[in-house]
Amino acid sequence: MSFELHAEKRHAFGKKTKALRQKGYVPAEIYGKGQKNISIQVEYKHLEKILKSAGGTNLIEINIDDSEPVVTLARSRQYSPVKRKLLHVDFHNISTTDKVSVRVPIELIGTSVLIQEGGVLMRGITHIDVEVEPNNIPKKILFDTSVISTFAKSATVSSLSLPEGVTVLSNPTSMIANILPPRLITEEVEVTEETVVEEEEEKVYEE
């Protein structure tokens, strides 16, 4: 699935981008291998809406001043630290015939019988890096936690079932999820409480 983004060529750079943002535009850059960067500006609300829908896994066709659309993927985004307003976006110009590397979210589904026995699900990484053809980028990778049948044994990236044509770039030993047994969880809580008491006693003693 692809989304259409309307943009204009940008002529404001450096400190002048502040005035651009005050007018309701977001400065952005399109880059690609062996290609000259294209500086653009996009209306804030339009860009925000497209990015929210497309994320980083859907193609975005950018129409610059009604010219031939440029096929891209949204890469990095910069936000203001306090108000979290969108400040800048980088787009990667791609060829639909060449494979690209992209970060795809992992969604956990299902329920292990260990959970019914009082175990607690511990989450590992939430995304993986893959290489795939642009038109076949998966929106997400599903992992069924019901296959976890042993306490404290991690399910890793190598456990994932991937669509055809998708190659994993992430470390295959990275943990996706595991389930801690009730006793281990209780022991961890008791150790934490003992540590807090000891620290408080030491603090009183030093005073």
pLDDT in tens, 125-154: 999 999 999 999 999 999 999 999 999 889
pLDDT in tens, 160-173: 999 999 999 999 99
CA–CA separation, 11 and 27 (whole Å): 10
Q: Which amino acid is at 15?
A: K
Q: Which two tokens stand for residue 189?
A: 């809580």
CA–CA separation, 56 and 39 (whole Å): 20
pLDDT in tens, 49-89: 999 999 999 999 999 998 889 999 999 999 999 999 999 99
- CATH number for the region 101-182 comes to 2.170.120.20
Strand partners, 175: 156
Q: Which two tokens stand for residue 46?
A: 């339009």
CA–CA separation, 80 and 75 (whole Å): 17
pTM confidence score: 0.78
Please determine, looking at this structure, whether the domain spanning 2-94 carries the CATH number 2.40.240.10: yes
CATH code 2.170.120.20 region(s) in the chain: 101-182
